[in-house]
Structures are given as structure tokens and as C-alpha cells.
């Protein structure tokens, strides 16, 4: 997950909250406080509230590496025990990160969300929206949508997004130069990184996602 900061609970953003004594004391209470902050467009406060809620729910769970990641099976178990609260809060924090233009953190939370609840359609949509903000290739976004449709009971919203992306793919002209390197070809330097990033069981996944995010950002905005 993108952030765990229970140690920073007393270091609140500029919100009018003077101490932790006035904070909700349950994960769902913190989630509701975060939701109110989102409606008021206080996205940094919202992210903080969601982080405190996530920390409460995942307290005591072992981390799989130095980055503090929690294994998918433990996220799933924790979400089940919390009656779906963990996935909802991860999805909400992904949105807050997206609003703060922290697109990499948004993607990490969205991926953790669908690990916690693979059939949660909104989580899969968060993945697609984060990939879009990271300027990921359209085929990669479509792959994420297709995985979501396969995992969800209905997936109506994902199917609508799939149609939009397919229309965009169809509108993109095929490179005419014979020397143009096709994305995903054997000599594509991003291919291996993409494979690792898409493998939810690979502990290097978030490192690969960070590398992809940086690569796409450079490709989209250029360097001077």
C-alpha cells in the first residue's frame, strides 16, 4: 500500500483539527470523516483520515518487505474480517491521491484494493484511472479493464470504460515506419517491467510500477 502513517497521527494537515482527541476512534468513523473531507475538496485531510483507518484495520499484519507491503492473501483476509471496509477505504484513498496528483500512490492503493476484494468494480476502475493519469499505453489500460470484467459479477461500468478505450485505440494511427519499435515486442525495454508490474504475486511489483510511472511521465511531458 502507498502509505502507513499511524506514527504521524498527531501531525495533521491544516484542517482546523487541533488534536487527535477530536478524531473518530473507529475505521468506519475515520472513513466517514475522510468522505466528508473529499466532499469539501480537502483531499490531503481525506487521505490522512483514510490512512489512519487503514492503519487501524491492518494493525499487526506482517509486512512482506521493507516497503511495508502486505501480502494479497492477508489483505483479502483483513477485508473479509472488516466486512469490506478495507477495500472501500483503499479505493477512497486512491481517489484522494488522484485528486492530489499523486498518481503512483493512487495506483498502488487501487491495486491493493482489488487484492483485498477482487470483485470490487470500483477498485478496478481506480486502477484504470490511475494508469490513465500515468499515461500508460491504452492496451495496458484495456488489459486492466478486462481483468476487472472477468473478476466482477456485472462490471457494467468497466464495460462502458472498455468501449471508450477501444474507440481510442481504433482512432490511433498505426506507425508507418518500419523502424518504429512496437510496444510489447521482444526488444521493448519496458516489456519485462510491465510483466513484473502486472504480476500481483511478485514482491517487485511496486518497484516496477514506479519505474513504469516514471517512464510514462517522461514520455508524456518530455525533458528539457
Residue 50 lies in a domain: yes
Residue 197 lies in a domain: no
- Residue 90 is part of a domain; what is its CATH number? 1.25.40.10
Residue 5 lies in a domain: no
Coil, helix or strand at residue 94? helix
Residue 223 lies in a domain: no
Taking the alpha carbons at both ends of the chain, their separation in whole angstroms is: 33
Those residues with Cβ within 8 angstroms of residue 186's Cβ, 6 or more apart along the chain or in another chain: none
Spatial distance between the Cα atoms of 155 and 158, rounded to a whole number of angstroms: 5
Residue 210 lies in a domain: no
Residue 145 lies in a domain: yes
**What is the pLDDT, as a whole number, of residue 217?**
39
pLDDT tens, 17-58? 545 568 899 999 999 999 999 999 999 999 999 999 999 999
Coil, helix or strand at residue 106? helix
- Helix (H) or strand (E) run with residue 120 in it: none
Q: Are 54 and 90 in contact (CB under 8 A)?
A: yes
- pTM of this structure: 0.72
Residue 211 lies in a domain: no
Q: Which of 6-10, 42-46, 102-106 is least confident?
A: 6-10
Residue 181 lies in a domain: no
- Domain containing 114 equals 27-171
**What is the pLDDT, as a whole number, of residue 2?**
53
Helix axes 121-133 and 138-151, enclosed angle (nearest 10): 170
Q: Are 158 and 144 in contact (CB under 8 A)?
A: no
Our count of domains for the chain comes to 1
pLDDT tens, 146-191? 999 999 988 999 999 999 999 988 887 455 444 444 444 445 555 6
Q: Which three cell numbers stand for residue 146?
A: 478486462
Amino acid at each position: 500500500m502507498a502509505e502507513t502513517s499511524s506514527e504521524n497521527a498527531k501531525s495533521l494537515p491544516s484542517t482546523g483539527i487541533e488534536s487527535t482527541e477530536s478524531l473518530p476512534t473507529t475505521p468506519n468513523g475515520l472513513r466517514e470523516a475522510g468522505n466528508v473531507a473529499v466532499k469539501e475538496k480537502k483531499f490531503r485531510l481525506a487521505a490522512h483520515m483514510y490512512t489512519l483507518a487503514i492503519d487501524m484495520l491492518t494493525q499487526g499484519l506482517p509486512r512482506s518487505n521493507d516497503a511495508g507491503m502486505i501480502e494479497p492473501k492477508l489483505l483479502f483476509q483483513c477485508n473479509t474480517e472488516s466486512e469490506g471496509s478495507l477495500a472501500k477505504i483503499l479505493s477512497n484513498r486512491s481517489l484522494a491521491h488522484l485528486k492530489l496528483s499523486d498518481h503512483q500512490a493512487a495506483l498502488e492503493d487501487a491495486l491493493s484494493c482489488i487484492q483485498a476484494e477482487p470483485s470490487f468494480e470500483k477498485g478496478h476502475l481506480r486502477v484504470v484511472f490511475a494508469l490513465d493519469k500515468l499515461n500508460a499505453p491504452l492496451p495496458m489500460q484495456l488489459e486492466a479493464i478486462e481483468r476487472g470484467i472477468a473478476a466482477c459479477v456485472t462490471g457494467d461500468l468497466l464495460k462502458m470504460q472498455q468501449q471508450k478505450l477501444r474507440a481510442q485505440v481504433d482512432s490511433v494511427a498505426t506507425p508507418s515506419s518500419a523502424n518504429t519499435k512496437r510496444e510489447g515486442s521482444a526488444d521493448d525495454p519496458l516489456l519485462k517491467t510491465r510483466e513484473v508490474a502486472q504480476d500481483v504475486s511478485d514482491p517487485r511489483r511496486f518497484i516496477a510500477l514506479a519505474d513504469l510511472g516514471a517512464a510514462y511521465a517522461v514520455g508524456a511531458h518530455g525533458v528539457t
